Amino acid sequence: MKRPSTAVGRAVAACVTAAALLTGCGVQQTDVIEAGGPATIGVFPAPENRMVLFFLSPQGRPTPVMRRVGTNLDPKGGADYPPAGAGPVDRGKVVAALFAGPWANEREAGLHTELPPQLNGPVGITATSGKLILRLPLAVRPLKAAAVRQVVCTVAFAGGDGGAEVTIMGPDGTLPAAHC
Amino acid sequence: MSRWKARIGLRTRLVLAFLLVAAVSAGTTAALTYRKARTTILEQAQDTAVSSFRDRVQELSTPLPVQREPLQNQVLRLAGQGKPHPWVVFAEYGSLRVSSGARPVSTVITPELRRAALANPGGSFQRVVKGGDPWLTIAVPAVFRAGKTTRPTGLVLYAVMPLIDEEANVRAMVTAARDGAVPGLAVALVPALLAARSVLRPVRDLRKAARSMGNGRLDTRIQVKGSDELADLARTFNESAVELEGTVGELREAEARARRFASDVSHELRTPLAGMLAVTEVLDEDAAHLAPDTAAAVRLISAETGKLAVLVEDLMEISRFDARAAELNPDEVDVAQTIRKTLTSRHWTDPAQLVTDLPDGIRARLDPRRFDIVIANLVGNALRHGSAPVVVRLRTETYGDGAPGTPRATGVNGAARLVTEVADSGPGIPEDVLPHIFERFYKADAARTRSAGSGLGLAITLENVRLHGGTVRAANGPRGGAVFTVEIPLMGGETTG
């Protein structure tokens, strides 16, 4: 077989290839393929009656939780947060609730926080044309990135739709402005 | 490879090539069609499944954080709405794992799909083959509307759907392609054989024509059909045949002219020689009265003239054979008597010179004149060139019977031959001369330029024996001495005695 590349040889090779194509495959497995958008689901309570806090999933991703607020809907007086339209002062209470950590049912779902449990002082928030500045009574530089994201997202959603730019300031300095 | 090719005939190779082409084209077509069809089948199933799963998931609503019991109920409801096939639905949120199946966590969903579902704000799917079965796994992250944008809720829903039906469809296509290919190849065999035939017929014609030409029919021609390479070959063959026929014709004509010339010359010489012979006879008679020198010269002239006359007669005889004008006039004779008559008429009767072994009663159909020439030439040769005693033997043999020289009298019709042997007691014939001994004017001894005979005696003998359908051969006997054996088939002749 000095010349394997005869016409017959090539044809046989082609046949074998075709046969291999035909027989060697049923349904093949694939890589992950992106297909379309996500599913938009309904969440409640409705935007007027909720505050949105961001805790961390077991994988470390900021995950929103929604707590019902508003005295008119909660006759027991458990509400500490009037409807969003009531005024900007309520953001301080939202931040306080975030630092207070997840409730039992939220912890049950696997959520946790990276923030220190207590705030030893008041929280100051100023809003100017879509930019929010938050003053915290604690050192902000040692905060972990996930903790910072928790704060940024929570503040951006407090009385807004989460699109605002947030700057966090502490006694030890200012963190770079961030979006949720 | 070449040995392999040599063993397989042209027809087989043509048919195989045809089938190979058919198989390759059928295989390629089938493979491409199959791939396209498989892709279409799978894409249809996937697209339907992904979009319907997303639509179903969009009907959900949930508090955040997600609670186990409501989620469980919603997952169970989703599980009943699988399209195009039933699916198993899994939901993952934080550390919460809920499913519509027996296990809360799927074993089919890959970590890559989980990562993609959490990282990308969109749906994704993956085909997985697990335990030999193909599965379609779909991941759809759930988001909620926040103002103009949407935000992930952290909830991801998965659907796992078996693709067994699609697998079966795909396998069915392979089976169909295979089942279609075999009859297709069988059908392709018909045009393959026809094509091989159309190629091989001219080849066969050519072979027949070549054989026919080899057998001497130089006017053989091939019918030229079409204008392909084989037609070119046939045309070339025809042209070559014309050339060959012309050349051979010319050669034959030249040979015939040469023979005619020899015949004409001998004819022309005959008449003056006859006159000369008459004169030399008279001169011979008067030689006694001439002076001795003159007498010797006259006798020499007379002897040479006689030889010349014999030569001319022999030349004419051989010309007749060449012109195929020699005819056999057979007569039923007693062979022994015929031979004795020949010997007596030439005065070869001295027992010291000639020993005969001629059993009576062997009868055969022979031309007596020609047989006489054969015997006379052989015995004359033996007496001239060999030495006495010369032995003449006669016998019959059966064809296919043992070695020559083992006489066996038979009464069987047909399958017998007449064998006449003339042996002398001389030194024999040199081996290098034997093959040429029957050629015309062949001189056994190059130094002896003049011989008593014409140099045509044995050639004429050979022609005469051939005319009887027999053979003559020369050999040396076991005790020395040349042995000439004439064998003539006993056509219809009987041996009686």
* B217-251 residue pLDDT tens: 888 888 888 888 888 888 999 999 999 999 999 99
Look at the block and give the residue holding tokens 């990308």. B120
Least confident of B34-48, B230-244, B274-288, B480-494: B480-494
Task: Please tell me the predicted confidence (pLDDT) of residue A20.
Answer: 58
Is B119 in CB contact (< 8 Å) with chain A? no
Cβ-Cβ contacts under 8 Å, B167 against chain A: 26-27
**Tokens, residue A75:** 């006759």
Cβ-Cβ contacts under 8 Å, A6 against chain B: 1
**Tokens, residue B353:** 């010179």
Distance, CA of B280 to CA of B258 (rounded, Å): 32
> Is B126 in Cβ contact with A27 (below 8 Å)?
no
Q: Does an H or E element contain B489, and which?
A: strand B482-489
- Whether B18 and B191 have beta carbons less than 8 Å apart is answered as yes
Residue A39 forms part of a structural domain: no
Q: Calculate how close chain B gets to A24, using CA atoms only, in Å.
A: 10
> Is B20 in Cβ contact with A18 (below 8 Å)?
no
Band the pLDDT of B413: cuts 50, 70, 90.
very low
Residue A9 forms part of a structural domain: no
Residue A28 forms part of a structural domain: no
- What's the pLDDT tens digit per position in A52-69? 999 999 989 999 999 888
* Residues 6 or more apart whose Cβ sits within 8 Å of residue A107: none
- Whether B87 and B53 have beta carbons less than 8 Å apart is answered as yes
Task: Please tell me the predicted confidence (pLDDT) of residue B181.
Answer: 80
**CA-closest candidate to residue A21, choices B441, B119, B178:** B178
Backbone φ and ψ for B332, nearest 5 degrees, come out as -85, 120
**What share of residues in chain B are helix, strand, coil (percent, to 5)?**
55, 20, 30
Q: Calculate how close chain A gets to B252, using CA atoms only, in Å.
A: 50
Residue A8 forms part of a structural domain: no
Q: What would the mean pLDDT of B427-433 be, rounded to a whole number? A: 85
Residue A159 forms part of a structural domain: yes
> Is A36 in Cβ contact with B50 (below 8 Å)?
yes
Task: Please tell me the predicted confidence (pLDDT) of residue B161.
Answer: 94
pLDDT > 70: what percent of chain A? 76
Cβ-Cβ contacts under 8 Å, B168 against chain A: none
- What's the pLDDT tens digit per position in B122-152? 899 999 998 888 999 999 999 998 888 888 9
Q: Calculate how close chain A gets to B220, using CA atoms only, in Å.
A: 37
Task: Please tell me the predicted confidence (pLDDT) of residue A64.
Answer: 93
SS3 call for B492 = coil
Task: Please tell me the predicted confidence (pLDDT) of residue B399.
Answer: 64
Q: Calculate how close chain B gets to A126, using CA atoms only, in Å.
A: 21
- What's the pLDDT tens digit per position in B450-496? 556 678 888 999 999 999 989 999 998 888 889 999 999 886 544 44
Within 48-77 of A, beta carbons closer than 8 Å to B belong to 57-59, 61, 63-66
**Tokens, residue B68:** 């186990």
Q: Using CB atoms, which residue from A28, A57, A105 is nearest to B154?
A: A57
Is A36 in CB contact (< 8 Å) with chain B? yes
Domains of chain B in sequence order: 2-170 (3.30.450), 229-326 (1.10.287.130), 331-489 (3.30.565.10)
The pLDDT of residue A77 is above 70: no
Distance, CA of A105 to CA of A120 (rounded, Å): 26
3-state secondary structure chain A: CCCCCCHHHHHHHHHHHHHHHHHCCCCCCCCCEECCCCEECEEECCHHHEEEEEEECCCCCEEEEEEECCCCCCCCCCCCCCCHHHCHHHHHHHHHHHHHCCCHHHHHCCCECCCCCCCCCCCEEEEECCEEEEECCCCCCCCCHHHHHHHHHHHHHCCCCCCCEEEEEECCEECCCECC
Is B39 in CB contact (< 8 Å) with chain A? no
For residue B143, the cross-strand partners are A40, B152
Residue A1 forms part of a structural domain: no
Question: Can you give the C-alpha Rg of chain B in angstroms?
Answer: 54
Cβ-Cβ contacts under 8 Å, A15 against chain B: 20, 23-24, 27
Q: Which residue of A has its CA nearest to B147?
A: A161
Task: Please tell me the predicted confidence (pLDDT) of residue A89.
Answer: 37
Domain count of the fold of chain A: 1
ipTM associated with this complex: 0.81
Task: Please tell me the predicted confidence (pLDDT) of residue A82.
Answer: 45
Within 40-99 of B, beta carbons closer than 8 Å to A belong to 42, 46-47, 50-51, 54, 57-58, 60-67, 93-96
Q: What would the mean pLDDT of B77-104 be, rounded to a whole number? A: 91
User: At A123, which amino acid appears?
Assistant: V
Is A28 in CB contact (< 8 Å) with chain B? yes
Task: Please tell me the predicted confidence (pLDDT) of residue A167.
Answer: 92
The pLDDT of residue B117 is above 60: yes
DSSP string, B318-331: HHHHHTT------E
Q: Using CB atoms, which residue from B127, B142, B146 is nearest to A38?
A: B142
Distance, CA of A123 to CA of A136 (rounded, Å): 5
Q: Which residue of A has its CA nearest to B128?
A: A29
The pLDDT of residue B403 is above 50: no
Q: Using CB atoms, which residue from B28, B57, B122 is nearest to A18?
A: B28
Cβ-Cβ contacts under 8 Å, A157 against chain B: 146
Residue A41 forms part of a structural domain: no
**Tokens, residue B48:** 């339907």
User: At B149, which amino acid appears?
Assistant: T
Domain hosting A163: range is 47-174
The pLDDT of residue A24 is above 70: no
**Tokens, residue B477:** 């006997």
Mean pLDDT over each residue of chain B, to the nearest integer? 86
Look at the block and give the residue holding tokens 């010179």. B353
Q: What would the mean pLDDT of B407-433 be, rounded to a whole number? A: 74
- What's the pLDDT tens digit per position in A100-152? 999 998 999 999 999 988 788 888 888 887 788 999 998 899 999 999 999 99
Q: Using CB atoms, which residue from B38, B125, B163 is nearest to A33?
A: B125
Residue A17 forms part of a structural domain: no
Task: Please tell me the predicted confidence (pLDDT) of residue A70.
Answer: 62
Q: Using CB atoms, which residue from B27, B134, B148 is nearest to A19?
A: B27
Q: Other CB atoms closer than 10 Å to residue A138's CB: what's the count?
A: 17
> Is B24 in Cβ contact with A111 (below 8 Å)?
no
Q: Using CB atoms, which residue from A1, A64, A106 is nearest to B151?
A: A64
Band the pLDDT of B497: cuts 50, 70, 90.
very low
> Is A64 in Cβ contact with B144 (below 8 Å)?
yes
- What's the pLDDT tens digit per position in B333-373? 999 999 999 999 988 888 888 888 889 888 888 999 999 99
